[in-house]
Structure formats: structure tokens, C-alpha cells
Chains A and B, each alone.
Chain A
Amino acid sequence: QITLKESGPTLVKPTQTLTLTCTFSGFSLSTSGVGVAWIRQPPGQALEWLAGIHWNDEIRYSTSLRSRLTITKDTSRDQVVLTMTNMDPVDTATYYCAHRLIWQGLDYWGQGALVTVSS
């Protein structure tokens, strides 16, 4: 059974760096074809894909946010970490992590973590 769960601060101040951790079970990020992605959704708005990391260490970032994002994996701890620098109130959103198999969609999602950016 695959599960994922996001954890991190619920409130960050403008200009601070956000660090979110996705802790998963039921799969390994060292298995061929497996990846984990981060997606966010501002209140009442659409989904926005942020970044993805794969079993072969391939990393992908949103073009528009690339300069602010870093995604890493810790295979031994079954975790993926996303950092986003220079947070702004417009970054207020629910942040999700999700599992994928290569050439398929995002088939398992975490419950999401609401992050508010405010001074």
C-alpha cells in the first residue's frame, strides 16, 4: 500500500525559505521507473506542478520557479525534500507530493499541507 505525507511549517514569513518533506511508504525511490513530484494549489485556484525527482536521480523543475526550487531525495529514509527560497504571500497554497511510475500519471497523492506566507 503506497502512502505519502507532507510535513513542514504551516506559516512562513516573506523572504524566508520553505522546506517541505514528503515521507512515503510502500515503494522505493531506488526502484526503476519510480518518481515523486511536488504540486501546489493556491486557495480556490488550479494545480501547479513544481518539481519531480526520479529513481535515476533525474530532476525536473517548473521553468517559472526553477531559480527558487531545490528537490532532493533520501532513499534510505524514504523521503523527498523540497525547498523554496524567497517566499512571498502569493506562494500561499496547499502543497502536495505524489508518486508516479514512468510514462504514467501521478497515481498516489499525499493529503496536502497548507502553507501560509504572512508577516
Chain B
Amino acid sequence: DIQMTQSPSTLSASVGDRVTITCRASQSVKSWLAWYQQKPGKAPKLLIYKASSLENGVPSRFSGSGSGTEFTFTISSLQPDDFATYYCQQYSTYSWTFGQGTKVEIK
């Protein structure tokens, strides 16, 4: 299986900060990567698919980039509603996999 490694595991930031999360794949997933936001007790929400495509209705402060094995997820200006856990997920191969998650906390 392709392993997805996110860094950092936890991130402390303030409102207005630019936040970047990295996701590395153990082998190429081309651009078949999605990013999700999850809040406690809630189902995940799709933010980005195909590495950089913004899901309908998702604010433009969220963006994704990368291809192959290295991907970046950015929040350009962190808002109070953005404190949550974020997951990357590859859907390139037969068996899909998620990263271990990055918790964005209030600094």
C-alpha cells in the first residue's frame, strides 16, 4: 500500500496566519490526492481534490499544490472556523489511503 505521511502532526497558529501542511506519498500518486477538514464529532469535509481543485463552496483561502509524491495544503489566512484536523488521501491505486492527520490548534 502507498503510505501517506503528513507533517506536522500538530500545528499551533493564530488567526490571520498562513498555514502550510505537507503530505508525502511513499510512491507516486500523480495528482490523485484530496484534502479534508474534520471537526470533532463530525464527518470529514472535502476541501481539495485532484491535488489542487477547490471543491464547490470551499473558500478560496484554501489551496493545494503538488504532484507525484510531494503535496502542500495551504490556508492563506487562518480563520476561527479553520481550527480542525486536516487529512490528505490518495486515490491513485487500487487501495486508497489517508494520512495520519494534522491538527491545527489555536496558538
Query: Interface of A with B (CB < 8 Å)?
Result: 37, 39, 46-49, 52, 60-64, 96, 98, 103-107, 109-112
From 82 to 106 in chain B, residues with beta carbon under 8 angstroms from any chain A beta carbon are: 87, 89, 91, 94-101
Q: Which residue of the partner chain, among A49, A103, A110, A112, contacts B96 with CB atoms under 8 Å?
A: A49
Q: Which residues of B have CB within 8 Å of A107?
A: 46, 49, 55
List 13 A-B pairs, Cβ < 8 Å.
A37-B96, A46-B101, A47-B101, A48-B98, A60-B94, A63-B1, A63-B94, A103-B50, A104-B34, A105-B36, A105-B55, A105-B91, A107-B49
Given contacts A64-B1, A105-B36, A109-B43, 4 further A-B contacts (CB under 8 A): A48-B98, A49-B95, A107-B55, A109-B44
Q: Which residues of B have CB within 8 Å of A47?
A: 36, 38, 44, 87, 89, 98, 101
| Inter-chain contact A110/B98, CB cutoff 8 Å | no
A-B contact count (CB 8 A): 63
The distance in angstroms between the C-alpha atoms of A60 and B92, with both chains bound, is 12
Closest to A58 in B: B94
B63 to chain A, nearest CB (A): 15
Q: Which residue of the partner chain, among B48, B53, B91, B95, contacts A62 with CB atoms under 8 Å?
A: B95
| Inter-chain contact A52/B96, CB cutoff 8 Å | yes
| Inter-chain contact B43/A112, CB cutoff 8 Å | yes
| Inter-chain contact B43/A105, CB cutoff 8 Å | no
B43 to chain A, nearest CB (A): 4
The distance in angstroms between the C-alpha atoms of A15 and B32, with both chains bound, is 36
B11 to chain A, nearest CB (A): 16
